[in-house]
């Protein structure tokens, strides 16, 4: 999991980067925390929102848990949805031939994305 932070300044002249906004992606929770501390100390930094970002890693599944393949024409290709969630979001593959739904990463107990699948 990564974190994305955008630091905005009141003018490019007051920014150490020479621009009004800088976007950074970092890998640990300590890194955006450090950047927020630095931004709070700068009187010209006007905003510094941050959020968790998930990247999909690995190969997309080729077969459903029920055994049949995601292959062929539009009748067998899975429906892909994106469930927004406070954890960063989930890629959802729904089979057109059976009721199986696969969320990646799995929806956890602290997620707020349950039951938000779009219709095919």
Q: Omega into 45 within 30° of 0, i.e. cis?
A: no
For all residues of the chain together, what is the average pLDDT? 80
pLDDT attached to residue 119: 38
pLDDT in tens, 44-66: 999 999 988 766 667 777 777 77
pLDDT in tens, 80-114: 777 777 777 788 888 777 787 888 888 887 787 65
Q: What is the DSSP string of 17-52?
A: TSSSEEEEEESSTHHHHHHHHHHHH-TTEEE--EEE
Closest CA to 53 of 109, 119, 110, 3: 3
pLDDT attached to residue 118: 40
CA 31 – CA 66 distance, rounded (Å): 42
The pTM of this model reads 0.54
pLDDT attached to residue 111: 81
**Beta carbons within 10 angstroms of residue 119's beta carbon:** 6
What phi, psi does 67 have (nearest 5°)? 110, -30
CA 13 – CA 50 distance, rounded (Å): 23
At residue 43, does pLDDT exceed 90?
yes
């Amino acid at each position: 999991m990564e974190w994305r932070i955008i630091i905005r300044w009141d003018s490019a002249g007051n920014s150490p980067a020479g621009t009004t906004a800088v976007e950074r992606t970092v890998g640990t929770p300590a890194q955006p925390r450090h950047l927020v501390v630095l931004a709070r100390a700068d009187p010209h930094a006007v905003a510094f929102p941050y959020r968790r970002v998930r990247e999909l890693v690995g190969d997309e599944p080729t077969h459903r848990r029920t055994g049949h393949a995601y292959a062929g024409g539009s009748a067998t290709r899975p429906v892909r949805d994106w469930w927004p969630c406070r954890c960063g979001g989930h890629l959802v593959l729904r089979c057109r031939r059976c009721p199986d739904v696969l969320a990646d990463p799995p929806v956890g107990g602290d997620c707020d994305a349950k039951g938000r699948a779009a219709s095919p």
